[in-house]
Chain A
Amino acid sequence: MTGASLFGIEMVNVFLAMAILIVIASFVSLYRGIEGPGIFNRIIAVSVIGTKTIVLLVLIGFIYKRPDFFDIALVYAILNFIMTIAATRY
């Protein structure tokens, strides 16, 4: 890991701000998932939230300096892909 601050701002805080931004975007996507007409909007919403969750897991792994979260992110990506394919194939 390289240095931890840039112009007086800790890099961990930058990662934390990005994680909060991703969480807000996920909740905005969740509105479309709940309200959106038809089942395909909901499938897309689940896929989008899963995609954002992968980045969120990697960011959490960097914030708390725990490398376990990258394996979880990898498994989550595979599960998200398989779930989307299965949902579209019925």
Chain B
Amino acid sequence: MSDITTITNILTVVLLLTGAFFMLAGTIGFLRFPDFYSRMHATGKCDTLGEGLMLVALIVYGGATFVSVKILFLIIFILFANPTSTHAIAKAAYDVGLEPWRKPDDRVQWLNTDDTNNISNTGNSGEGRVDEDGGDGR
């Protein structure tokens, strides 16, 4: 075993552990966040970064071979495809009409200020936000 092999293996393990950390953080955020949009915020970035880091670790481990070029193409494709699919899902959900989640305190405060001085409000949105509550169906 030479020194360069040891350095390569250490770099591989460090990159793999970092990628696994990001992937687990994205999974926990996907499980724990209250809203659809915030879940997508957790998964869209953490999965892309974690996957990129793990594949870079495997490139470092594999060395300069034909296999590494394939994995490099895989990384480039994922860096294009994953944000695109995330944006497509978000746009589809927004067009269907899912409303973003708000903190309950912010919602109550916003409603109170809306009742006291109702400027630049057509009257539709206030009652609509009172009715939907509890975060069901999102």
Contact = CB atoms under 8 A, between A and B. Distances in A.
Interface in B59-77: 61-63, 67, 70-71, 73-74, 77
Contact of B13 (A3, A14, A55): A14
Contacts, number: 146
Nearest to A41: B36
Nearest to B32: A32
Contact of A84 (B12, B62, B71, B88): B88
Interface residues of B, number: 54
Interface residues of A, number: 46
Contact of B39 (A44, A81, A84, A90): A44
A11 B9 contact: yes
Where chain A touches its partner, the secondary structure class is: helix
A40 B67 contact: no
Contact of A6 (B10, B20, B47, B138): B10
Given A40-B89, A40-B93, A55-B54, A70 B67 contact: yes
Contacts of B19: 55
10 contacts: A22-B23, A40-B92, A47-B43, A48-B26, A51-B48, A58-B74, A62-B62, A77-B77, A84-B88, A89-B88
Given A15-B16, A28-B28, A80-B85, 8 more contacts: A3-B5, A21-B23, A22-B20, A51-B47, A58-B74, A62-B61, A67-B67, A73-B74
Interface of A: 1-3, 5-6, 11, 14-15, 18, 21-22, 25, 28-29, 31-32, 37-38, 40-41, 43-45, 47-48, 51-52, 54-55, 58-59, 62, 67, 70-71, 73-74, 77-78, 80-81, 84-85, 88-90
